[in-house]
Amino acid sequence: MANYQVDVLIQGFPGRSICHGGLGWSTVSLIRGQGRTILLDVGAFGMRGPLKKRLHEFGLEPKDITDVILTHAHYDHMVNYILFPQATIWIGDTELTWAAKQAPGFNPLPELYVQQLNQSAHVRRIQAPSEFLPFLHCFLVPGHTPGHLLFVLDNGASDVIFTGDAAKNRAELMSKKVIDTANVSESADSIDLIFEKWRSKPKNILIPGHDLSMQLDENDCPVYLGKRADSLMVWFSEKIESSGLIDLNVAQSMSQDNH
Ligand SMILES: [Zn+2]
């Protein structure tokens, strides 16, 4: 019996800016048990302040993190591995091998961080499928990136499933379509595998890369756990002291083709 404690430190957000591209607001999870203190994905630069604050809320310092597990090599999930120099960094062998071969491009790969990781003595390259840590299983879910990994934590009566960007949000899970995939059919197959793992026990929890955690109801429909909570603080006035808040929990209905 694993008896891991799983907490979401930073809740991912399912959105992007129209003019400024991906927000990079990804999920960061804390997994504690079996003598380890693990971060699963570590977020983007803008998240460093909130991440430090959340670690402190759990009585943790960066040196306490024993392992960092990365779903894939995109900047918004991985650059902060560098803040945990004592940790073992786990990433898929296929993913790191692919990412290290890419020339700098207009994509979310942080080229220099990938190169550093590729040469780091702290890296352990995961072969999938495998149980690479006690009760922690990984599976290859290509599409979004070629070596993206799905993680399933066997926690006894229920599992916790970490999808990263193989399925970023509930809309992708329910429609089985992934925005920003390098391979549409591979992504669809990967979502099928995610649902197979999700259905394996009735109370399994799914933690996606850019959305709230979810469970499946009796009709096989994903339902959110908890509430979304985020706002933008903005300075639209003439005074630095008077900022405004834009609530990000209300969406206008909009349909679009995602080409
Ligand atoms: Zn990504």
Task: Tell whether 236 is covered by a domain.
Answer: no
Residues 71 and 40: beta-carbon distance below 8 Å: yes
Q: How far apart are CA 137 and CA 86, in angstroms?
A: 23
124 close to 88: Cβ distance less than 8 angstroms: yes
23 SS3 class: coil
Total tally of structural domains belonging to the chain: 1
Residue at 235 is within a domain? no
Residue 221 lies in a domain: yes
pTM greater than 0.85 (yes/no)? yes
Whether 45 is in a domain gets the answer: yes
List the CATH number of the domain containing 91: 3.60.15.10
Distance 237 CA to ligand 1 centre (A): 35
Q: How far is the CA of 61 from the centre of ligand 1 (A)?
A: 27
Determine the Cα–Cα distance for residues 79 and 72; give it in Å rounded to an integer: 11
CA gap 53, 164 in Å, rounded: 22
d(CA 237, CA 47): 25
Q: Please check the confidence at residue 35 and state whether its pLDDT lies above 90.
A: yes
Determine, yes or no, domain membership for 150: yes
User: Among all chains, which residue has been given the structure tokens 């799905």?
Assistant: 150
Q: Which domain holds residue 98?
A: 5-230
What is the CA(74)–ligand 1 centre distance, in A?
5
Question: What is the distance in A from the centroid of ligand 1 to the CA of 200?
Answer: 26
* Residue 249: how many other CB atoms lie within 10 Å: 9
- Only one residue has tokens 């999700």, namely 198
Residue 237: both structure tokens together: 């006035």
- The mean pLDDT of 133-162, rounded to a whole number, is 96
- 259 within a domain of the structure (yes/no): no
Q: Mean pLDDT across the chain, nearest whole number?
A: 94
In a domain, 216, yes or no: yes
> Amino acid identity, residue 65?
I
Longest CA span, the chain: 58
Is residue 259 over pLDDT 50?
no
Residue 256 lies in a domain: no
